[in-house]
Amino acid sequence: MAASLSSDLFMLKPTYTCFALTRKVACMSSEGNIGLELYAQRTLSLLCVSGENRQECLFGGRLGSLGSLASGPGNPRFRIVLCFCRDGSGLAHHRFRVFGEPYVGLAGARPYTSEKETWAGRRGETLRRCRDDELVYAKRMSFSLSINSLRLIAWIAILPLAAAAQPSMKAIVIHSSGGPEVLKYEDASRPQPEDDEVLIRVMAAAVNPVDVFIREGRINHFPLIPGMDVAGVVEETGNKVTKFKRGDAIYAYLSFEEQGGYAEFAVTKQDHAALKPKSIDFEHAAAVPLAATTAWQALIEKARLSAGQTVLIHGGSGGVGTFAVQIAKARGAKVIATASTANQDLLKQLGVDQPIDYTTTKFEDVVKDVDVVLNAVRGDTLARSYSVVKKGGIIVSVTGEPDPAELEKHGIRGTGLGAHPDAKVLEELAKLIDARKITPIVSAVMPLVDVAKAQQQIASRHTRGKVVLKVAEPPNQSSRD
């Protein structure tokens, strides 16, 4: 994201030091709202790596917060560079490298710096020309700065007016990795859609195992709003969106890069969403996107499952498994599925031809010569599955890559699967749902504030179907419901 920020010369007492502002420096969040922070907590070392005098330019001590505007989860953080150098106007031709982690965003945002990052100073754009007598060389010194220019105050107040006016929303925000206690229900800035995106007023969001992995530390870019499954109503569309209009009831699979589903509003690309199935409510629609897309891409796109074939589905009562069973049955395949004793009735309800209680029976003792294995569980299940596949058959695993040596040994194929958003898949799933060939299995619907409890349930790995968070009451009607 580019942000064109006006650079200007501001005089700071007592040394008439030049205050130089970079044009676009670093974005601390993947969301689309523009914000601004003037904040420095640690020493910043700017090492001049080109120019006539390769001097080390420092500012040190605790400058504190000069101002914070429109900050919070969902807003990019732009670093401000204070340049103190005795090279005068020659700064306009110098390049600097940043060391350390001087900038600390509010609300727990991590610093974003890189030793490989450089800025090329350009006259009139990033570093202002200053007269030699208006610059002071500062090295490992503490500054006691008092601002004597109303221009700086006016600039701080006026520049981010649009961002400051940004509406807020309630959301679940993670500021650092950890247990369920890091899931905070708080105010956040409402995202704005890009040209090819839609802003969704979220009615419901599903909880997935990947949400737990992210919270526990799979990524370290905080703060973030998790959630990859949503159902809701289109609030706003980008200029290039042609598929939807305001008021449409839709459901979406938010990508790993997007996320943001645990909130009152979320944005996604139009190619990641489809009209909500008309025959189900928002809570059941939210349960579909990620899990059902995973099952579809595994069975239909990877395994090429066809009528008359036999498929073994490990974890038939889980989120992916319940959809996989129904997709396979709709395809005309024979379905064998494993589940615990408590979920045998669900397997039968879903139409499984040969349900297996894995707590009492080893599947490899009663299954052989299947065309496809879909592995949706962890443990040693994958390792025990090679022997039950007929030659030329395939194993698709969503929890890890099959062993190439074992595949070759048994004369079978195998692949791992990382699912991805696809509006066309969502459209096909909606048709099957409205035709009553797929029914989303939702074991619990909880309010958004109970997200910690919902994630604890998912983390148990014994969830029947899906757990869904209710975010808002549905509207009375929509233009296409």
User: Could you give the C-alpha distances from 188 to 6, 27, 172, 260, 263, in angstroms and in order?
Assistant: 27, 17, 9, 11, 9
Domain ranges within the chain, ordered by starting residue? 10-164, 168-287+441-470, 292-416
Report whether pLDDT(312) > 50.
yes
| Per-residue pLDDT at 318 exceeds 80 | yes
pLDDT at res. 354: 98
Tokens encoding 7? 């650079």
In CATH, what class is 292-416? alpha beta
Predicted confidence (pLDDT) at residue 274 exceeds the cutoff of 80: yes
Which residue from 254, 300, 249, 306 is spatially nearest to 279, judged by alpha carbons? 249
Helix (H) or strand (E) run with residue 195 in it = none
pLDDT surpassing 60 at residue 52? no
Domain 168-287+441-470 fold = Quinone Oxidoreductase; Chain A, domain 1 (3.90.180)
- How far is the C-alpha of 56 from the C-alpha of 51, rounded, in Å? 12
The DSSP code sequence of 53-73 is: S--EEEEBS--EEEEEES-ST
Secondary structure E strands in 260-327: 265-269, 273-275, 310-314
pLDDT value, residue 136: 36
Q: Any residues with CB less than 8 A from the CB of 349 and at least 6 apart, and which?
A: none
Residue 7 pLDDT exceeds 70: no
The whole model's pTM is what? 0.68
- Angle between helix 319-330 and 423-434 (nearest 10): 70
Minimum mean pLDDT among 128-132, 406-410, 415-419: which range?
128-132
Burial of 451 (0-12, 13-18, 19+ CB in 10 A): buried
How high is the pLDDT of residue 9?
A: 27
Q: Which one, of 295, 319, 323, 311, lies nearest residue 439 by Cα?
A: 323
**Beta strands across the sheet bearing 44-48:** 56-59, 44-48, 95-99, 118-120
Rg over CA atoms, the chain:
28
* Confidence bin at 477 (pLDDT 50/70/90): low
Burial bucket for residue 234 (CB in 10 Å: 0-12, 13-18, 19+) = buried
pLDDT at 348: 97
Task: Please name which of 148, 211, 179 lies closest in space to residue 16, comparing C-alpha atoms.
Answer: 148
